[in-house]
Every structure is written in C-alpha cells, then in structure tokens.
Structure 1
C-alpha cells in the first residue's frame, strides 16, 4: 500500500513507522499521521492529507493547527494553505521537550529528597 501526496509516493510501512515514532513522543494518532506525511512530503495541503485517508476532513485543520501551535509545522499565507515540516527539526523539538520534562522530574525528585532529609533531621 502507498500514500500519494502531491507528486510524492510513500510506502505505507515507512509512514506507519514514522507515525509510531511520533506517538512515542506523546502525539495523538491523527497528529502523528499528519506530521509523518508532511515531513515526508516536505509540504502539503489539508486536502492532500484528507484525500489519502490520513485524517477525516472534519478534523484536518484542527489537527494541523494544533501541530502548528506545538511549533512542529509551519504554513504559508496563500490559499490553499500549505503546511511544511522538516523531519530533523521536528525530532529535535520533540527531543528537547522530552529533555525539559526529564529535567523537571529531576528537580521535583531533588525537592522530595530534601524534604525527606529535613524530616529525618528533626
């Protein structure tokens, strides 16, 4: 099975693998599907994504704007809007967010340790 977006054709399993990677970073299924195809094609419209069954037409813009709010996609001002993303940049941003989360957990763990030490000292 293949996805055809614009002039590009992508193997289903290649897209599915990328989709699963994005899901591991916490993105939802529709977000992951859309982001995988946009990254692979470089640029596409909401209609491109809905035509190939990636996202239902009623959810397409909601998903794309959500990804844009997360700073994972950019779009043009022209009509129809064209959404674009570069895989390396997307992965760097997702990794950075996860690293920030880990740092927050480490900070909270250190605070918890300090509380325990203070309680034990009393």
Structure 2
C-alpha cells in the first residue's frame, strides 16, 4: 500500500490537469458562464438605474406636492424628469459597455 500522505484528492488532480491543458492551449481562464453573468450584471445595473431615477423623481415630486398642498402635478412632472435621468444614465452605461467591447476587440485584433 502507498503512503496516504502522498495521495491527493482526485478532484484536485483533475483541476490541475485542466489548468495545465488550458495553459498549453493558451486559453484564458474566463468561461462562457462568467461572461454571461457579467452581461446579466450589466443588464441588472441598467434596470436598477432606470428604477432609481423613477423612484427619486417620484419621491421629490410627492414631497413637493405634500409641501405645497398641490394636486399631483409635481409628482407627474418629476416622474418624467426621473425617467429622463434614468434613461440618460442607462445610455451612458451602454456606451461604457460598448467602449469596453471595442477596446477588447481592438486588443484581440492587434494580437492577431
């Protein structure tokens, strides 16, 4: 029988083998699932930015309506302002994502 201290966990050995194969192929460690999660995170970020703009606009408008005792004119007005701010922020995030993708593509083309 062999010495138990020399034996390693088969999953560790398999992981080490996968790492060596990936290194030999020159592949990066980022899998497709990680890329998918990154895209999902960006989508959630954009949704949260839009909802935050609407919520802040609603809060300011409602507060002004209560303060001045007005009909919900300020609430409606500031909801539209919040929507516009949320869309503007979403567009800025989309532009940021596009710039990152173009930079990665340019780096990849430069390497080839």
TM class by shorter chain equals 0.3 to 0.5
Q: Which has the higher strand share?
A: 1
Normalised to the residue count of structure 1, the TM-score between the two structures is: 0.30
Q: Which has the higher helix share?
A: 2
